[in-house]
Chain A
Amino acid sequence: MIAPFYKFDMFGFDTSLVIAFIIGIGFGFFLEKAGFGSARKLAAQFYFKDLAVFKVMFTAIITAMLGIFFLSWFGFLDHSLLYISNTYLLPQIVGGLILGIGFVIGGYCPGTSTVAMATGKIDALIFIIGVIGGIFVYAEMYPIMGDFAKSTNMGRLTLMDISGIPFGIIVFAVVLMAVGGFAGAGWVEKKFGYKDEEKIS
């Protein structure tokens, strides 16, 4: 096993920053290619008009997931060394709901807003200012919020841990679910989506 390379001490912290930058370029590039530099396209997900958000996200998830699985199986990657943040169930659900609301009102999420800003969207810039404000408010409220934010700590918890079902079968189930979802998305878009002339492209 030689991966993850950084945790096998193949290079140092400073190099990791350069790598961060390069990986970020890839991240931003594909986000923009998917059209996620446009708030309208992102928000269209929530009106069933354009389900690109769902398609891109879940494709990315199953691609990476399959990659992790097979690379681990071949003995190349030590998946126990992959950082998984703790599951704080309640704050994550509440935070997620707030985030979803913010997504529809603002039209972006932090990652896509930086891409949109890079391509000239003023509303994205305003959005980012809002995000910074929101973080600041949270930080100042942390003395009160802190306990809630650290509640229901279930530790490093995966779907395998919680169900006892082996990794490979979960992978299969997630792939099935995603592909099924994609088929469904196609159907929904046909029914509710933008007619070709209106399509956001």
Chain B
Amino acid sequence: MKFSDLSLNKKLALLAFLLGVIAVFGGNAHNKQQLVVDTAELANQINQTNDGINVIALADKIIKGQADFRLIDLRAEKKFNEYHVPSAENIMVSGFNDIDMPRNEKYYLISDNDILTGQAWALLRAKGYKAVYVIEGGIKEWENSILFPKISANATPNEISEFNKIKEVSMFFGGQPQSVVDSAVTETKISMSKPSMPASVPLKKSVKKKKEGC
């Protein structure tokens, strides 16, 4: 019985079956982990682009509910669970290959180790991600400027009005602004539970429009 003697349907069935058998040898159809990196281009990007975002700008965006970015917290899960910036996602560098990270989204990277954040930035850039930014100062800067902003007893009127603005932002995130009498600041440990958020802050997920569902 020649192949051409079979009816169309049987031919299609045979083709499907064949493809199915071949598929068995494809395992998980794993994507290649190797890339071609244009090192000159990458060096250029490192030199030219200004990829820092300061914590106040970030706080501002969160308060305004501008959900056009993904805030990636690179720290270990335990530290993330102790405290993280509202709307952050916990993805460690090791998870970059597994997690859904489309290249047409904006990524803000934050951690408690500036070197790590820089390395993650370079890794994503090398993989071709274009919109990758670093939160300047990381979690420590967030703590110092947003959660626990300090003002000294002999501040100028300018500094005081700046501080008052920050105070509002800080309270929004459940922080505790403090004024210090002398320059010795006692290290304030962040309490175990996340600072509670005002009910009206829409955490990014719920405001984000249903993008790809049916």
Contacts and interface: CB of A to CB of B under 8 A. Distances in A.
Direct interface between A and B, CB < 8 A: yes
Interface of A: 1, 6-9, 62, 66, 69-70, 72-73, 75, 78-81, 83, 85, 156, 160, 166-169, 171-172, 174-176, 178-179, 182-183
A73 B29 contact: yes
Nearest to A174: B20
A169 to B, nearest CB: 6
Given A1-B32, A7-B102, A75-B31, A169 B24 contact: yes
Contact of A79 (B25, B29, B128, B213): B29
30 contacts: A1-B31, A6-B102, A6-B104, A7-B104, A62-B16, A66-B16, A69-B26, A69-B29, A70-B29, A72-B29, A73-B26, A83-B212, A85-B212, A85-B213, A167-B23, A167-B26, A167-B27, A168-B23, A168-B25, A168-B26, A168-B28, A169-B24, A172-B20, A174-B20, A175-B19, A175-B20, A175-B23, A176-B20, A178-B16, A179-B16
Interface in B82-120: 97-98, 100-104
Interface of B: 9, 13, 16-17, 19-21, 23-32, 97-98, 100-104, 128, 130, 212-214
Nearest to B20: A175
A78 B104 contact: no
Nearest to B102: A7
B31 A179 contact: no
Nearest to A79: B29
Nearest to B130: A9
Contact of B103 (A9, A160, A167): A9
Q: Which 5 A-B pairs have the closest CB atoms?
A: A175-B20, A7-B102, A72-B29, A168-B26, A171-B23
| Interface of chain B: mostly helix, strand, loop or mixed | loop
Contacts of B19: 66, 70, 175
Contacts, number: 89
Contacts of B27: 166-168
Contacts of B130: 9
A72 B101 CA distance: 17
A70 B16 CA distance: 13
A168 B19 CA distance: 10
A185 B26 CA distance: 30
Nearest to B13: A179
B205 to A, nearest CB: 12
A136 B31 CA distance: 43
Contact of B102 (A75, A81, A85): A81
A176 B14 CA distance: 10
A175 B212 CA distance: 27
